[in-house]
Chains A and B, each alone.
Chain A
Amino acid sequence: MSVLPRSTPNIELASRLKEIFGDERVSRMENDRIAYARDLWPRSLLQVRKDQVPNPPEYIVWPETPGEISKLMRMANDKKFPVIPFGAGSGVCGGTLPISGGVICDLKRMNRIITLNEKASTVTVQVGIIGEHLERELNRHGYTMGHFPSSIYCSTLGGFLAARSAGQLSTLYGKIEDMVVRLQAVLPDGTILQTVRTPRSATGPDFDQLMVGAEGTLCIITQATMRIHLAPAARTFASFIFPDMKTGVDAIRLFMRRGVRPAAVRLYDETDTALSMLAIGMEASGNLLVLTFEGEERMIQTHERIARQICLENGGKDQGEEPALHWFKHRYAISYNQSKILSADQMVLDTIEVAAPWAGLMKLYDAMRQAISKHITVMAHISHVYPDGASIYFTVLGKAESGKEIKLYDRVWQDALKACLKAGGVVSHHHGIGVLKAKFFEQQAGPAMRILKELKAALDPNNILNPGKLGLS
């Protein structure tokens, strides 16, 4: 008895994989195939709840060098099997699901920190390293990468780069694409390349940026040089309540325009506000804004002072530092709720993160809220803020009719992203595309999708690398 669908092992493939990786780093064990059959896409979790494991990989391999990956790619082209790059499987869009079978290429054995270049403020590291491990190592030497996604405990640098992720402090430190200065990668034909390291250049398109966000469809990133920062000498916290979302959004836009750069900027809708305030035993109606500042003490004092002045002048009421401090201390805690909710029958849960420029942000917020709330409970907050706009993070939650959980799940996403596109938003701010958003990404990209498709066809004519993701079927 096995939860896996029946399949016949490809003995020849196994023996050839073992020629590259040895016996120990190739697996077709049932346990491994179960564990690598899903990532953290909530839709897969609904399937697990129904004891379904529809897409197990045929094999899993653990390379230790780019050379081994190169050999794997050549073999995959020769034998025509898919290769799916895999970090720690924390993606929430099905980006690492082996939907066409094939070989999962787990990069975590490639986790060495190669150099910490203090003069250049960069770290060069193999991308299989888990985010929290990298950050702790940097901290030991007095640095930070400034990248704190809520998945930091369970995701790798390779995953950050492939999915173009954002950390919670992206207003100050930028998204992952702002941090990368050089990549090493293996192309689908087995070529190993290294981009040129430079602070900035005018040497044609940026090759790093072609690979970042490609979700392992164009290449397997193996090593990265990343910008790092001195660990912050000081942190301050501020919180305000606004009468409505729009007033809060306007205040944020105004202080961002003045060059204020908090580390985190989060503006909650009424439901999210009530829950956040409840957690610290405070009551407030309206919309909570939490701001955190970090860096050199004198600099952050100035930033905080200007932000505070603008918030107070534009409808904000000071709530002291407690709400922001509480958020900072428990900034990963929200994810623990998933266990409770999704282990219960009929429950459906997910998060939808979209983005838009300031001018369209409230329109996007209203449109998506309306589209989602027809089906399920929704709450939201402005989660990441930039000078020209922001991301909105919706949490959707509800109980489906028995047996109709996946139907409800799909309907919510369908209507949410339809509304997103109609309102001028982008369908992902930091979770990526994967399988989940492929159709909508194609619509969003429009004619530009041709660039990606032709690039894919040229680099990977046999469609070996992570097929079916990013709208590249």
Chain B
Amino acid sequence: MSLFKNRTKEIEYCTFCPKLCRFACPVGNATFRETHTPWGRQTILHFVNDGKQEFNREVVINTYRCLTCNLCQTYCDHDNDVPGTMLDARAKAVEMQVIPREVQEYRTFFLEHNNPVGEDLLARLRGIVPKALFNEEAQVAYFPGCGNIFNYPNVINDTFRLLEALGVDYVAVHDGEIQVSGYTLMTLGLLKDYKILAQRVAKELKRYKTVIVGDPSDAYEFQFRYKEVGVELAPKVLHISQFLRPFFEQNKVPVRNLYPKKVIYHDPCYLGRYLGEYDGPRLMLDAVCKEPIQEFSWNRESSYCCGGGGGIPVTHPDIAKQVAEHRLKEVLEGEEKTLVTNCPTCQRVFQKTNSQIEVLDLVTLIAKSL
């Protein structure tokens, strides 16, 4: 019996492919190893699937060398789901108790605190936004996400400042106990824990009609992955950029001060390749920036990952750093510029990698223009 019978097509197509996404894999590019590319990882799973290679710790760890950024799929005519295969392999590893130490440690810590940062995020959130924004009757809630609460409280404030300027007074901040979607649990293969968490989150979000989400990976979890583990989320889910876009399209944003510096925009993987949002952020940036926005040579569907996806910062922080450094090379070329993105993970990874670069969230940049 094949260990990954449901993924046989993906595994075989990559194994017998002439490595046509080789150049695009940020992990393979960072480590320079064929073993760490989709072709290399899937080749080894091919032998596992055929029962010729043990699904041992070494093989398992290799499946964690994927950012789940999906850039490989941009260059795959078969739309082969490599990240999905890696996530299945990780889940199987957890099920079989072949768990990398870092994953085990992450799990223990997470389960103790219901988040990966070890703090009471709701208490933190209460310290960030005014009491009035905690409204139990609200039908539309803002779910800032762990990354924003812990690292970017200013983005939360900027979001509400912006909403106020747009005349949107019906959005409350989500006051649930759980302030994470469980994205990292899922990417690390901790599916049982993820499902339990998803059920709790779904229960807490049940009372809203719409949830506006600050972190695109959370938005993706809510919109798609919860369903995959059998958890139905009642409210409609929008990423903040999806919510804001119509206001710009209808010229309803009172822009007063155009942002004067040069800006380069980084497409987060989960906002771009996963949620398909490429034009919205650019439309908004065009409206609030004095100069035309600059583009990375790898942008939109070809956008390079920041290094923060797929649980890589947990299992392989060295790879995460190298991927981020690679991405930042173009920012450091030529004139000084502000790096804008729309994801707290990307923002954090970039700032940790190079503190000299100004990195702003799209919402902050818009708020500055009011």
Chain A residues with a Cβ under 8 A of chain B: 1-3, 27, 29-32, 34-36, 40, 45, 48-49, 51, 53, 62, 88-90, 106, 108-109, 111, 128, 130-133, 136, 139-140, 151-154, 332-333, 335-336, 338-343
Contacts and interface: CB of A to CB of B under 8 A. Distances in A.
5 contacts: A30-B59, A32-B33, A48-B16, A339-B17, A339-B78
Interface string B45-73: 01100111110001100100000000000
Nearest to A342: B16
B138 interface: no
Contacts of B22: 88, 90, 130, 153-154
Contact of B75 (A30, A109, A153): A153
Interface of B: 12-24, 29, 32-35, 40, 43-44, 46-47, 50-54, 58-59, 62, 75-78, 297-298
Contacts of B12: 339, 343
A2 to B, nearest CB: 6
Contacts of A51: 47, 50, 52
A89 B58 contact: no
A62 B52 contact: no
Contacts of B62: 31
A343 B16 contact: yes
Contacts of A136: 297-298
Contacts of A2: 52-54
B46 A89 contact: no
Contacts of B24: 153
B19 A339 contact: no
A332 B22 CA distance: 14
Given A1-B53, A136-B297, A154 B47 contact: no
Nearest to B76: A336
A48 B19 contact: no
Contacts of B44: 31, 34-35
A35 B43 contact: yes
A154 B35 contact: no
B18 A40 contact: yes
A27 B43 CA distance: 18
A338 B76 CA distance: 12
B119 to A, nearest CB: 34
Contact of A3 (B14, B53, B58): B53
Given A140-B297, A339-B12, A109 B32 contact: yes
A34 B37 CA distance: 13
Nearest to B330: A140
B23 A89 contact: no
A136 B298 CA distance: 9
Contact of A32 (B14, B16, B35): B35
A373 B52 CA distance: 36
A336 B17 contact: yes
B23 A34 contact: no
A336 B79 CA distance: 11
A2 B51 CA distance: 9
Interchain residue pairs A-B with the least CB separation, the first 9: A154-B19, A154-B22, A343-B12, A336-B77, A35-B35, A108-B32, A339-B13, A132-B23, A342-B16
B2 to A, nearest CB: 12
Contact of B43 (A34, A106, A340, A342): A34
B19 to A, nearest CB: 4
Nearest to A107: B32
Contact of A90 (B19, B21, B32, B77): B19
B20 A153 contact: yes
Given A31-B59, A32-B35, A343-B12, A335 B53 contact: no
B23 A30 contact: no
A199 B14 CA distance: 43
Contacts of B77: 333, 336
A108 B17 CA distance: 20
Interface-central residue, B13, B34, B76, B78, by most chain A CB under 10 Å: B34
Contacts of A152: 23
Given A31-B58, A34-B47, A140-B297, A3 B18 contact: no
B34 A48 contact: no
B23 A40 contact: no
B7 to A, nearest CB: 13
A198 to B, nearest CB: 32
A106 B37 CA distance: 14
Nearest to A131: B23
Nearest to B8: A343
A129 to B, nearest CB: 10
Given A2-B53, A340-B13, 13 more contacts: A29-B58, A31-B44, A34-B43, A34-B47, A40-B19, A48-B15, A53-B47, A90-B19, A111-B32, A130-B22, A152-B23, A153-B22, A335-B18
A336 B77 CA distance: 7
A3 to B, nearest CB: 4
B18 A35 contact: no
B32 A106 contact: yes
A345 B24 CA distance: 29
A95 B44 CA distance: 22
A40 B20 CA distance: 11
A35 B19 contact: no
B23 A130 contact: yes
A32 B31 CA distance: 12
A224 to B, nearest CB: 18
Contacts of B51: 1
B32 to A, nearest CB: 4
Contact of B34 (A35, A109, A140, A332): A35
B55 to A, nearest CB: 9
A35 B23 contact: no
A338 B20 CA distance: 11
A338 B33 contact: no
B13 A89 contact: no
Which of A31, A35, A90, A152 is most buried by chain B, counting CB atoms within 10 A of its CB?
A31
B85 to A, nearest CB: 14
B34 A3 contact: no
A343 B16 CA distance: 6
Contacts of A3: 47, 52-53
A154 B18 contact: yes
Given A31-B35, A48-B43, A338-B17, A1 B54 contact: yes
Given A1-B53, A31-B59, A35-B43, A338 B297 contact: no
B342 to A, nearest CB: 24
Contacts of A131: 23
A1 B50 CA distance: 12
Contacts of B29: 130, 133
A89 B77 CA distance: 21
Find the residue from A35, A48, A88, A131 having the highest chain B CB count within 10 A: A35
B6 to A, nearest CB: 16
Contacts of A340: 13, 78
B35 A90 contact: no
A35 B46 contact: no
Which of B24, B47, B54, B78: most chain A CB closer than 10 A? B47
B268 to A, nearest CB: 21
Nearest to A333: B77
Nearest to A108: B32
Nearest to B50: A51
Nearest to B298: A136
Contacts of A338: 16-18
